[in-house]
Chain A
């Protein structure tokens, strides 16, 4: 009989080694598919690396992609850690983007740049948080499963954005394309490097990851939300208000996802379209899982996922392998990560 025994201590090496091993296994498995597509496997991966890091342009593009993924990854990680199953980061991202565009347009707030940028970020975060508080209230009041409600709200949010950018927020100068009015020049995020799309949103994202890590490890709120997630009954017995914790966690999680949307508008595009997000919200869930819900790990997981997506585009152009291979690699690494985490946490005994 095979049994899984819980390990008493999981070493740091095992915790860091698990995701690395998972990625290697995923790349090996995806290699089979690349070979089936008729391309040389090693060459394909070389092209991918070049595509992601081979030039100044590609590096900045990869990092530009990383920033929103860090934020949506954090959004999923903080929620999951408290057992709040927020699958709605995609919708929260979109309403956050829309809020930033609306508040940052000519008809929005009139503030000097140093105040306008934080105000728009806050506006996006508030919009995202509000979108998550609805499903949370339904769960607390009526026991409605938030997995369902947050997931379905993604489509509501997408259609709402579509309605707005075809309607009141439509840009009259866009030759009829469905896009929102642009934000004013003062609302655009300063670039990190000139002549690139890389903006200070990356610093904001990394800074927030460090902040979330600090909050989780050192504060009363961090410890109480961890207890509430791990054992709600014991948390209640110890006098921790579960409702309060969940509301705060929802504000944080929805806020991070909404902020990601605001930053993407202010840093990259300047306006909202319905295809603003190539699934940043959903991919954030994968990022969080790859990072085993660790806030610092989220930064590295987001970088890995961004590398795969940016790199796969260029590999696809060079070798004719469909760029969907990036999705396959990310999905495989998630599966491999789940196995690797089990192996790190449990010992197989016969």
Chain B
């Protein structure tokens, strides 16, 4: 490594009250390097990047870019020094065109016109050089998430960024878009840009980075060349202990619990057939937006099928509704845990009992038995290791992993006969993923039938006994997970089922 150092952070420390978010962090970035900053949620990654970019002021330490110390707390100075940041949540105006978004903020306030000719030439040149194809005149609101991210990167490059920081760039992307992003970033690095990307996903760090810096509890705990480490080692460094994702034991499935035949939902689902048996997990894979959401709604009792039958324990479900499903022993884990799963402003115990509130043990004559509710919440907290608050804390204070543990826990505490789990580990960090997987496997071992709908192939391979793919509202025939390999799953998700079979 003889390339010059372009950016160095020296002894950065930042405290928020009693919390030390960054503790004497030192790191260097060299020209043309792709550096991954790896750590769990709350490890201090985002704080560190906000200090670097001047959004926060560090309590001690300094930032040096291209040999010049940056004044603390001045984002403009960071931009002028050639640092560009792409946030997880994009800062784009949806009703403006790509070129207007890119140029916005670079022109003096009182200038006439946008200097559109020169700007367009430069933008086209940048997108060609760095392989960031996007139509300059498209309205940003019409672009896909992946394209919007390209616009954000172009925005930074347009401002002469030579160091790019990307905060969890793949959190919002589909698998294919993420692959494309890695390729783009590698190309940019080869052209001499220096890139830091923040992530808590091991596979993308391994796939994209040259060098990995692992942050834990605000401290740099390790630094590795990507070629000289392994997923297992990084997972252990990141979490601070060995996290083996639990393994699935083979077992003989029991009776059919859920059976769909010819299930239609107003054009969004067409003729779905599947069965899930007791003590068995059926994994439904597929690219996002192929009908998964509707399938989850049907399996959770939120919607009636427009044709076809859904049978629970061999009997057709006459009038599907959430309460009926819960009463019949269906545990439901929604895809959007904060949107559908919990009411953020309500207490943890209220969220624990909300879907069972009218059961006699939680209310009598219309009055809520709050003691019973709190007791139930305490048992869920204890058994499923929910951290971050007691029964009376508002649930919005909990991290995503702990919210998910509560949602799983309030269902699994009742030993459901069927568990419908949609994207159960999306956005969770490695430790939380392992514990969610452990709980799902334990439920299956106890005889629960599990319907797992997930875009994460590793997750499906780890948890499912059989796999079906959903493509444009149709389901592929099932294959046993033992026969699944990436090529075959890829063909299934592409809808080429004859070849996959």
Contact = CB atoms under 8 A, between A and B. Distances in A.
Interface of A: 1, 6, 8, 218-224, 226-227, 230-231, 233-240
15 contacts: A6-B396, A8-B394, A218-B370, A219-B368, A220-B357, A220-B358, A220-B367, A230-B343, A230-B346, A231-B339, A233-B339, A234-B339, A234-B342, A237-B300, A237-B322
B339 A238 contact: no
Contact of B322 (A219, A222, A226, A238): A238
B357 A224 contact: yes
A252 to B, nearest CB: 14
Contacts of B323: 239
B368 A234 contact: no
B427 to A, nearest CB: 17
B342 A239 contact: no
Contacts of A236: 302, 322, 340
Chain A, interface SS category: helix
Contacts of A222: 368
B95 to A, nearest CB: 23
A234 B358 contact: no
B270 interface: no
A238 B367 contact: no
A206 B342 CA distance: 34
A239 B339 CA distance: 14
A24 B236 CA distance: 57
B490 interface: no
Interface centre among B301, B339, B343, B354 (most CB of A within 10 A): B343
Contacts of B396: 6
B339 to A, nearest CB: 5
Contacts of A224: 357
B190 to A, nearest CB: 34
B414 interface: no
B82 interface: no
Interface in B170-225: none
A230 B345 CA distance: 7
A74 to B, nearest CB: 20
Given A1-B55, A220-B358, A239 B366 contact: no
Contacts of A223: 350, 354, 357, 368
B344 interface: yes
A218 to B, nearest CB: 5
Contact of B367 (A8, A219, A230): A219
Given A221-B366, A231-B343, 15 more contacts: A1-B75, A8-B397, A223-B357, A223-B368, A227-B350, A231-B345, A233-B336, A234-B339, A234-B340, A234-B341, A235-B343, A237-B334, A238-B322, A239-B326, A240-B354
Contacts of B358: 220
Interface in B351-406: 354-355, 357-358, 363, 366-368, 370, 393-394, 396-397
B205 to A, nearest CB: 29
Closest 8 CB pairs of A and B: A239-B322, A239-B323, A238-B355, A237-B340, A231-B343, A238-B354, A230-B345, A230-B343
B321 interface: yes
Contact of B368 (A1, A220, A239, A240): A220
A345 to B, nearest CB: 11
A220 B301 CA distance: 21
A226 B300 CA distance: 23
Interface centre among B302, B339, B340, B358 (most CB of A within 10 A): B340
Given A237-B334, A238-B322, A220 B366 contact: yes
Contacts of B345: 230-231
B500 to A, nearest CB: 34
A166 B267 CA distance: 58
B219 to A, nearest CB: 23
Contacts of A239: 301, 321-323, 326, 355
